[in-house]
Amino acid sequence: METESSVISSSRRKSGVVVERGPARQPSRAPSFNSRFPKTRRTVEALKQRAAWAALLRERLSEPLHISALSLLVLAFGSFRAKVYFDIYRRPQHAFGLLYAADQANRLGVKTITAIEFGVATGAGLVNICDLAATVSKETGVNFNIVGFDSGQGMPPPRDYRDQSHLYAAGDFPMANEAQLRSVLPTNAQLVIGNVAETVPRFELGPDSPLGFVSVDLDYYSSTVDALRIFEREDPKCFLPTTLAIFDDIWMADHNPWCGELGAIADFNERNALRKIAPFTFLRNQRLLKKAQWIDHIFLAHILDYPHAVANQRHRGAAPISLSGR
């Protein structure tokens, strides 16, 4: 069980980046999983890397040759939307998700939206989101407030079997160099440091910049349960009606609906009558590269109490991203 105090002690702003500091983590008296099983942890990390490369190779090599040839043309001469359609970008799930959110915002007349990454580690994903969001803003005219949530110290201790401590453990994925990460973030990005159990309830989210995009990469069931409380804000206009949510840790054979991120989604849906998280219906059919693994990571948070009638705007949330943006 985790015993951290629930008070955030300070916050500071530097280079447009807000850093909230949680209390220093008490060193655990028991030897950590990492020190007891360093080989297991390294194996899981290596497996993750290898699986990513294997998936990329499998996806590209198993598509028809003409699509690969066209991809090269799109890479050289294609528009941003064409590149998203051909999965040209690194982390295509981010490119697709940010564009989907911005197009939806435009249809609703929303000028600025919030994009969150839960679980930042060294910041590779967050920096990728910042870069892509800048391009999506140019394409759509929609601005982004980008927020990265992380403990800053790697994974907290697991709470129970649902955190799957044979896969993840305390101290995994530390931030490494927080100052360096802050120095490369743009001014529309914030880093919120502390346990999400404490930082998410304190985070200000309002209808002036509704949540449109969330990337969840917290590995644990318990952390994901705490992060998903962001969707329990009372005002439905704190969100886009179908807020796009990416769940990273759902791809291993050991992942199941009772543990990890999938378990947290199931709990969220049971707790909330008018807010539901579900896989993006028929997305694979709408994509060109049909074998892309990232498609299975894309979910939507359906804000069923969203006041469509008040917005007087017909919302076609399930529409695929078109090449024209309409």
Ligand X SMILES: C[S@@+](CC[C@H](N)C(=O)[O-])C[C@H]1O[C@@H](n2cnc3c(N)ncnc32)[C@H](O)[C@@H]1O
Residues at the contact surface with ligand X, assessed by CB under 6 A: 117, 119-122, 124-125, 150-151, 154-156, 173, 195-197, 217-220, 223, 226
Give, for 241, the enclosing helix (H) or strand (E): strand 239-247
Residue 209 vs 223, nearer CB to ligand X: 223
Longest Cα separation, the chain = 59
Alpha-helix runs per DSSP H in the chain: 33-36, 38-61, 65-77, 80-85, 92-108, 124-140, 178-184, 196-202, 221-228, 260-271, 283-286, 308-311
> Which tokens go with 58?
């499998």
For Cα atoms 101, 107, 111, give the angle at the middle one, nearest 5 degrees.
70
Beta pairing class for 239-247 and 275-279: unpaired
| Residue of this chain nearest to ligand X (CB atom) | 125
Q: Is 246 or 303 the residue whose CB approaches ligand X more closely?
A: 246
Q: Which is nearer to ligand X, 37 or 288 (CB)?
A: 37
- State the nearest-atom distance from the C-beta of 154 to ligand X, in Å: 5
Decide: 102 and 140 in contact? Cβ < 8 Å.
yes
What is the C-alpha separation between 127 and 42, in angstroms, rounded? 24
Say which DSSP state 87 is in.
T
- Minimum CB separation of residue 207 from ligand X in Å reads 26
In angstroms, give the least distance from the CB of 229 to ligand X. 12
To the nearest whole angstrom, how small is the minimum distance from the Cβ of residue 297 to ligand X?
12
CB of residue 99 to ligand X, shortest distance in Å: 19
Q: CA 214 to CA 117: how far, in whole Å?
A: 6
- Tell me the C-alpha distance between 144 and 63, whole Å: 34
User: Is there a contact between 63 and 291 (Cβ–Cβ < 8 Å)?
Assistant: yes
Cβ proximity to ligand X, 84 vs 121, nearer residue? 121
**Shortest Cβ distance from residue 222 to ligand X (Å)?**
7
**Minimum separation from the CB atom of position 13 to ligand X (A):** 20
Nearer to ligand X, 54 or 124 (CB): 124
Give the nearest distance from C-beta 313 to ligand X in angstroms.
Answer: 33
39 contacts: CB under 8 Å, gap ≥ 6? none
CA-based torsion, 181, 7, 219, 90: positive or negative? negative
In the complex with ligand X, the residue whose CB is nearer, 74 or 196, is: 196
What is the b/e burial string over 2-40, where b = at least 16 CB atoms within 10 angstroms of the residue's CB?
eebeeebeeeeeeeebebbebeebeeeeeebbbeebeee
Closer residue to ligand X (CB): 151 or 242: 151
Closest CB to ligand X among residues 200, 292: 200
